[in-house]
Amino acid sequence: MDKRRVVVTGCGVISCVGNDVKTFWDAVVNGRCGLGPVTRFDVSEYRTRIAGEVKDFNVCDYLSFKESKRMDLFCHYAIAAADEAMKQAGLPVNGEWGSVNPDRVGVLVSSGIGGLETITEQCKTLFEKGPARISPLMIPMMISDISSGNISIRYGARGPNMAIVTACATGCHSIGESYWMVARDDADIMICGGAEASISKLGIAGFCAEKAMSTRNDDPLHASRPFDRDRDGFVMSEGSGVLILEELEHARKRGANILAEVIGYGLSGDGYHITSPAPDGNGGARAMKMAMKHAGVAPEQISYINAHGTSTELNDKFETLAIKSALGDAARSVAVSSTKGVTGHGLGAAGGFESIVCVQSIINNVVPPTINYETPDPECDLDVTPNTAREMEVKVALNSNLGFGGHNGALLFSKFED
């Protein structure tokens, strides 16, 4: 069976640099960093005391107070981002689908970690007050699949519904698997992406213990510095990025505005280490090659790569090798950037954020910069679009995400052409 063409008709975002796509993109393209001191709790004893907190977010703009209390924060973010994406796509948020068949509308909005704050709070209750005081909503609030469930219930979307947990590749894989669901005629519309809310005592303590995060606590605006020789770790952030993927003819019949086309998706496993990418970049390269194979795209046709680029020593070095392996000689001429200098690392939401960056780069013909790039690293020697955005035609953009456990994902987006 021939693949059906899959297009993007809506995007929505909640992030540390803005709670809508327009504000988010303006910050990303202008290199306006959203990282700062953690304000939610006392971090004086923590090794890392900075993060990318969502600001000016009022959950009651989206949910009633009672509804909000039945969900973890990551679900709040997922619903808010999904609402924006649905509205841009011209789809209803009140469950009145009209000519659209809700049985053909699916949801795959996942979280890499899930309701970590709920777990933390309920553990405290258990230890201080005993098991009888645990909330009966604890389990449905903490499980990572519940963002898909809550969005499905909210809109009455009854198509394919699931969640994927692949650490920092979660959002990428959720969008990629949604692409295949539409392409193979299992759904006409997929609401997909990632959400995360792990800026909590337990979340930061865990990553601090791993010594994976930056300790530039006195200079948060320059702490996340992908591909820079003096990088010292990632900076955690939170939020949600959601896309609406739709079968082309279905979108046309609705009169939807088509933003871009999804043309390829690849995934692989390193089979190497729980936290480090494979040293030769082979796993990431195979995911990129698979995406290019399904898209029928040659390496020299890729205009821009939004790299995972976490600002950790190993990721940036090994991802550089992956890009070189996947693209060959074309790796020297492709524009690459990591937008995590601006947004921080959204963990399971990263693939949603960065897929939206790819779509916006195609719409606006702009490659956003890698900010805080001051000292070149000879082992990260690609064109990383240092510090300043670049106006250029972006016909095909690739999003790369890598997750703990050796999970690799790659998505290819292109300008839509009839």
Annotation marks residue 33 as catalytic: no
- Residue 148 contacts residue 168 (beta carbons within 8 Å): no
Q: How far is CA 17 from CA 238, 347, 361, in A?
A: 10, 16, 17
Annotation marks residue 173 as catalytic: no
Rounded to whole angstroms, the Cα distance separating 418 from 414 reads 12
For residue 216, what are its two tokens? 């530039």
For residue 15, what are its two tokens? 């992030």
Nearest to 398 by CA among 362, 369, 349: 362
Of 345, 358, 380, 407, which is the active-site residue? 345
- Residue 261 contacts residue 229 (beta carbons within 8 Å): no
- The 10 Å CB-count burial string (b at 16+, else e) for 117-150 is bbbbbbeebeeeeeeeeeeeebebbbbbbbbbbb
Of 76, 173, 294, 308, which is the active-site residue? 308
For residue 390, what are its two tokens? 């670049």
> Which residues are registered as beta bridge partners of 413?
262, 397
H and E: helices and strands count for the chain: 13, 13
Rounded to whole angstroms, the Cα distance separating 88 from 100 reads 16
Of 168, 172, 208, 380, which is the active-site residue? 168
Q: How far is CA 8 from CA 75, 108, 175, 287, 414, in A?
A: 22, 15, 11, 21, 10
C-alpha dihedral (39, 40, 43, 44), degrees to nearest 10: 60
Annotation marks residue 75 as catalytic: no
> What DSSP line would sit under 184-215, residue for residue?
TTS-SEEEEEEEE---SHHHHHHHHHHT-B--
The DSSP code for 270 is -
Q: What's the chain's length in residues? A: 418
- Residues marked active site are found at 168, 308, 345
